Structure 1
């Protein structure tokens, strides 16, 4: 069955399709590209060059023809312009290729430049940069506020330093890493010299976060930031307590500083040695040999409850004048005589004996070489046997002579 053609219905259909087309176009245009700036509020001084990085990302499936202009500026003698990233040519129109990954990682970058007039009066100056498609379907504008400070005002605070944990605790044999972030609020790149103050005998170093190389200066881009680690290594002989550390970064009159603190809990360290430095001694089988063992406290806190233990061949006896509860102050030592007795059946030769020093917090070991010599008892026994044999022979000759 055929229906009669209705003009009213046809008009409504066309209008619906038109509205749908407009709605679809707005959504596509809304996602066509992203226009961003590294910073939109910058503080600067007269006579310097203003630099702000700009980026455009294409979110469509094909290339976009983009027009760039500066619709708002203070006018003469301000002459802002848009240049390529390296600043060699002025840019007014550019073709942006699509991002194959559909993310904003692939960017086309530009730079907003302006030589600030030498006689620019202190105050705020407004600019804007516009990016729009050549067909006029989409446009984005970024406003900028540039603040110029006068010569009679305080120095521009365009450099900042941040740290999360300014106070760290640990023993003197540890290294302390302070995480620092440097922020450059100006529009120009800054190459900052790094320095610091630490107690005498301590070491200070700087390295990038998550890297193992060291440096003494760092570059921070305009309106950017850089993270680094400040590494503090105390003197191993530093006493327990809290110590100040100061970090500075700057170039010329632009300098920032941060104060840190290190709380040393002290390190416990015991070392064994001998009074004459020799690690060998002699002993005869069944008889004790004596070794002057020295217990050193090379840490920064007192040693308490140090015990001495000796270990040697099976059956050997090892004892000490004082084998337990030895207390020693930092930097001092105590001499304890070790008595090492081989078994009666020990054969002549070299044997290994180990001395252990143990405390609740630290320990150390020392290896000694004990040379076992022939026992003097067996020497006398041998002499007695020789004497008996000699006397027997003399008696025998006497008896035979009488016959």
Structure 2
């Protein structure tokens, strides 16, 4: 009798545990927040975009239209995007969940700190709240110029010219791995020393030497070379105008060719003109 009792108690206990587990799962599903985000706390620079991946669930028995709004600090911008479109309201069917990307851009003059932002999805008398945190750690910014600020010079065709560039970190966060490049006219050559700045602290600057080589037989005139400094967080450009002049040797050679041609014409006239 005892063996039979134990034999029947085991399935009953298993059934009881299954029912309890199912009940807890049902309660968890019912009590899950209808307006959530995978990450509610993000840290970035003031001149970057804070992007939150949110989910809005309609637990009502009818479709609902939700109006989206938020209390952001003055000068900040916020945008709501779903399915590739920017929206201000969203229609969610009964029992469905809609993904929403919330993009927040702080004002450039925002001071470092933590900012609390509440996003509201309003439908009729119901108001769903989503509390987000944006931790602003400063700004990324870099400038590129010359020591004097002058962005023009002249050069003789077929020669080289060294140009001093000044890279300055005008933001409040250290910049790493700043790379320099140039977009020069065809067949021109530009080389940098150094070509990469490993680190540049805020309000500090670094001098870079760029050697610009102009090919032979370049037609005289003005040419523009665009220098660029950038990393993953900041970029800056400087358009440098270079005036190419013809070399003195080339000029005298041209004059000599003209004189030789005139002499040949004069000789032919003197020789054959008498006949």
Q: So what's the TM-score if we normalise by structure 1?
A: 0.38
Question: How far is 1:212 from its partner?
Answer: 1.7
1:349 alignment partner in structure 2: 220
Contact 1:286/1:344 (8 A) holds in 2? yes
Matched, 1:176 2:51: yes
Contact 1:246/1:259 (8 A) holds in 2? yes
Matched, 1:231 2:106: no
Within-5 A mapping of 1:2-401: 161-167=34-40, 169=42, 171-172=44-45, 173-185=48-60, 192-207=66-81, 209-210=82-83, 212-216=85-89, 218=90, 224=95, 227-235=98-106, 237=108, 242-250=114-122, 254-263=126-135, 270=142, 272-273=144-145, 280-284=152-156, 291=163, 293-297=165-169, 301-304=173-176, 306=178, 308=180, 325=197, 327-330=199-202, 332=203, 334=205, 336=207, 338=209, 340=211, 342=213, 349-350=220-221, 353=225, 355-357=227-229, 368-375=240-247
2:20 alignment partner in structure 1: none
SS of 1:201's partner is coil
Distance in 2 (alpha carbons) for counterparts of 1:359 and 1:220: 41
Contact 2:51/2:102 (8 A) holds in 1? yes
Q: Sort the Cα spacing of 1:364 and 1:184 in 2 relative to 1 into closer, same or farther, 3 A.
A: same
Question: How far is 1:336 from its partner?
Answer: 3.8
Question: How far is 1:259 from its partner?
Answer: 0.9
Distance in 1 (alpha carbons) for counterparts of 2:86 and 2:158: 61
Distance in 2 (alpha carbons) for counterparts of 1:311 and 1:194: 45
Distance in 2 (alpha carbons) for counterparts of 1:194 and 1:345: 64
Contact 2:80/2:101 (8 A) holds in 1? yes
- CA-based RMSD: 5.0
Q: Sort the Cα spacing of 1:256 and 1:305 in 2 relative to 1 into closer, same or farther, 3 A.
A: closer
Distance in 2 (alpha carbons) for counterparts of 1:180 and 1:311: 45
Distance in 1 (alpha carbons) for counterparts of 2:162 and 2:64: 69
Distance in 2 (alpha carbons) for counterparts of 1:353 and 1:211: 38
Greater C-alpha radius of gyration: 1
Distance in 1 (alpha carbons) for counterparts of 2:73 and 2:38: 20
Q: Matched residue pairs, number?
A: 217
Distance in 1 (alpha carbons) for counterparts of 2:57 and 2:125: 16
Distance in 2 (alpha carbons) for counterparts of 1:303 and 1:356: 15
Contact 1:202/1:232 (8 A) holds in 2? no
Distance in 1 (alpha carbons) for counterparts of 2:199 and 2:119: 39
Question: How far is 1:200 from its partner?
Answer: 3.6
Distance in 1 (alpha carbons) for counterparts of 2:189 and 2:92: 69
SS of 2:130's partner is strand
Question: How far is 1:179 from its partner?
Answer: 1.9
Distance in 2 (alpha carbons) for counterparts of 1:184 and 1:316: 65
Distance in 2 (alpha carbons) for counterparts of 1:206 and 1:335: 40
Give a deviation string over 1:183-210, Cα, whole Å, max 9, x none: 455x787654432122443322334x43
